[in-house]
A and B are shown apart, each in its own frame.
Chain A
């Protein structure tokens, strides 16, 4: 009950609901909106590590790929239904997360980042070598979207675009709510403590490696579930899912949106998906522009798109508050809470 109260009072959880409702009307394509939601979820998971734990992970593509392959394999070969495939894919990705977490957290700082990239490459080569399961270079094809059946009752057909959007929307909101609860819990506080000063967290008596590994497991589970959805969305699981370039893409989306806020990465994923859909038609080498944007953001605008939103909001409220003769500092302080 307390949990429900927390969520009901949490503006970000409400924002995720509003975002999901408004998005298809704003961009007028349900298919694109679905892609945006799936990648938004993936960036939220990435930001659990990057923004909250302070661990830059280049292994996110491994989790996405494992989830996609596991779900695809189950749907194509075992005939298991939607829910079973999703759950097992999530568990498979969580296991991959545990492995990466255990190894990568042996080292702190840059060394840890290098390990995530190397381990991610290992998963790529495993997927490449196991071509009779994953299809290797050709990818895994023939994945069909199953109906959602619970205790023999058909709940939802997922083979049309709108239904699949709703499904992705429910998943996205669910992940937002879960992550908000997690971050508001003592567990979340420890993660932030590790980000701020790991030595101090250790000195207080926390087993920081355990916490960081758990953060990897949770992040991987979410990413893997999103990967499973992505495989059903495309009806296909390409090798590029598990490529380093995918990890880079996920990290770039997260940073573009702003890794020091909860909702920023969602804006980053939205901007990236929309930009890539528009620009890749006009100018194939648009990633060049993205590279430059990434350099500028890392150099000058660490808050990403989110900080621009906050700045605009502040400017707007400041104008209003001047009109109302209110105290500027008070409104700015109020803004910080979101």
Chain B
């Protein structure tokens, strides 16, 4: 029974990882651009959400406003700043976004201080639910459900809407899409905003679980990369399965060998690289 709960925990963490990595993978898929500031978006989401919840007392408001603010920041930074970088070599793109993440991290430290805080679980979601006679925290159930609904929405957006069709076509060939008369740059901005929005939601959701600290961005970025490597770049299924796999491995291992739980996800990544270099869902 313990393991069932560990798996459930793992799915919860995995859903948060999914929200982080889907943005990373979509942006890479269509723009061939790795955003090293993506972890910083998640960090900023966590702190903005914490601040809104603290000042207004409403977690719901935090869950709406902080991600929207992040979407705006993502849209603005793509539109007026990062979009100028598509022609420069990858190494320099990475360095610019690394600089951006450093700036965001230092801004966060100068506003909220260098020491992390714990974040209270919202009133309505405190306490436990009994599953088969065993108590399980309500908030974790909420995270799984909420992120699950979001994942469904993202799937719907990608597979059943015009935007999704353009995005999937764009990840095959941006040139072709733009020749068909689509404003490819608007598509880029929208995708960037979507990625930042989801990373922001991940930040708000994870703050009550793990607290906030200014250095959580590096960790999130590394996890995002692991998911992308395991699942294959640019794929919805890859990001989803990769995230849940990473979350479950981490969670189950933590009951077996708590210090080594984090090591195991990198071992899993190493195995995937050696056995399936393209990732579980990567295209040939």
Residues of chain A having any CB pair with chain B under 8 Å: 50, 54, 56, 103, 106-107, 109-111, 113-115, 117-122, 125-126, 128-131, 243-245, 248, 251-252, 255, 285, 287-288, 290-295, 297-299, 302
A-B contacts, 12 of them at CB < 8 A, read A54-B91, A56-B94, A106-B277, A107-B273, A109-B90, A125-B262, A245-B215, A252-B98, A294-B95, A297-B95, A298-B95, A298-B96
Main secondary structure of the interface of A (DSSP, over half): helix
The winner among A114, A128, A299 for most chain B CB atoms within 10 A is A114
Query: Does A113 contact B34, Cβ atoms closer than 8 Å?
Result: yes
Q: How far is the CB of B238 from chain A (nearest CB, A)?
A: 13
Given contacts A115-B229, A117-B222, A295-B99, contact A110 B266 (CB under 8 A): no
What chain B residues lie within 8 Å of A251 (beta carbons)? Answer: 95, 98
A308 to B155, CA, bound (A): 50
A119 — which chain B residues lie within 8 A by C-beta? 266, 270
Instruction: List 3 A-B pairs, minimum CB-CB distance, nearest first.
Output: A291-B102, A122-B266, A294-B99
Expressed in whole angstroms, the Cα–Cα distance for A190 and B150 within the complex equals 49
Nearest CB of A to B90, in Å: 5
Check B263–A287 contact: CB distance below 8 A. no
| CB closest chain-A residue, reference B107 | A288
Q: How far is the CB of B259 from the nearest CB of chain A, in Å? A: 4
With A294-B95, A298-B92, A299-B92 known as contacts, the answer to whether A285 contacts B109 (CB < 8 A) is yes
Given contacts A125-B262, A125-B263, contact A114 B34 (CB under 8 A): yes
Contact of B236 with A by CB under 8 A: no
Q: Is the CB of B222 within 8 A of A118?
A: yes
Distance A109 CA – B28 CA, assembled complex (angstroms) = 12
Q: Are A129 and B215 in contact (CB under 8 A)?
A: no
Residues on the B chain within 8 Å of A54, using CB: 91
- Whether A106 contacts B222 by the Cβ 8 Å rule is no
Docked complex: B218-272 residues within 8 A CB-CB of A: 218-219, 221-222, 225-226, 228-229, 233, 259-260, 262-263, 266-267, 269-270
The reply to whether the CB of B100 lies closer than 8 angstroms to some CB of chain A is yes
Is B266's CB under 8 angstroms from A294's CB? Answer: no
Give the docked Cα–Cα distance between A46 and B194 (Å): 35
User: B95–A255 contact, CB under 8 A?
Assistant: yes
Contacts of A118 in B (CB 8 A): 222, 225-226, 229, 266, 269
Nearest to A123 among chain B residues (CB) is: B266
Chain A nearest CB from B249 CB (Å) reads 13
Chain B residue contacts of A285, Cβ below 8 A: 106, 109-110
Contact of B266 among A113, A121, A130, A302 (CB under 8 A): A121
Residue B169 is within 8 A (CB to CB) of chain A in the complex: no
Candidate in B101, B266, B269 with the most chain A CB atoms within 10 angstroms: B266
A69 to B216 CA separation, bound complex (whole angstroms): 25
Contacts of B219 in A (CB 8 A): 121
Q: Is the CB of B103 within 8 A of A292?
A: yes
CB closest residue in chain B, given A55: B91
Given known contacts A107-B277, A111-B233, A118-B269, is B103 in contact with A288 (CB within 8 Å)? yes
Whether A294 pairs with B102 at a CB distance below 8 angstroms is: yes
Task: Give the docked Cα–Cα distance between A110 and B233 (Å).
Answer: 11
Please give 13 more A-B residue pairs, beta carbons under 8 A apart, in addition to A128-B259, A243-B218, A248-B102: A50-B91, A110-B34, A114-B228, A118-B266, A119-B266, A129-B259, A130-B259, A244-B222, A251-B98, A285-B109, A287-B102, A295-B103, A298-B88
- For the complex, give the distance between the alpha carbons of A271 and B91 in Å: 22
* B274 cross-chain contacts in A, Cβ below 8 A: 103, 106
Residues of B within 8 A of A130 (CB): 259
Q: How far is the CA of A126 from the CA of B259 in the complex (A)?
A: 9
State in angstroms the CA–CA spacing of A106 and B272 once bound together.
11
- Distance in Å: Cβ of A288 to nearest Cβ of chain B: 4
In Å, the complex CA distance between A56 and B95 comes to 10
The residue in chain A whose Cβ has the minimal distance to the Cβ of B259 is: A129
Beta-carbon nearest neighbor of B84 in chain A: A299
Q: Are B218 and A295 in contact (CB under 8 A)?
A: no
Rounded to whole angstroms, the CA-CA distance of A248 and B102 in the bound complex is: 10
Contact (Cβ within 8 A) A288 B106 = yes
The smallest C-beta distance from B66 to any residue of chain A, in angstroms, reads 22
Cα distance A64–B266 in the bound complex, in angstroms: 19
Tell me, rounded to whole Å, the shortest Cβ–Cβ distance linking A240 to chain B.
10
* Bound Cα distance A56, B266 (Å): 20
For residue B222, which residues in chain A have a CB less than 8 angstroms away from its CB?
117-118, 120-121, 244
A290 contacts B102, C-beta separation under 8 Å: yes
Interface residues of B in 66-123 (CB under 8 A from A): 84-85, 88, 90-96, 98-103, 105-107, 109-110
Q: Is the CB of A245 within 8 A of B263?
A: no
> For the complex, what is the distance from the CA of A70 to the CA of B260, rounded to whole Å?
20
B93 CB → nearest A CB, Å: 8
| Cα distance, A248 to B98, chains bound together (Å) | 8
Neighbouring A residues of B85 by C-beta, 8 Å: 299
Question: Measured between C-beta atoms, what is the minimum distance from B170 to chain A in Å?
Answer: 17
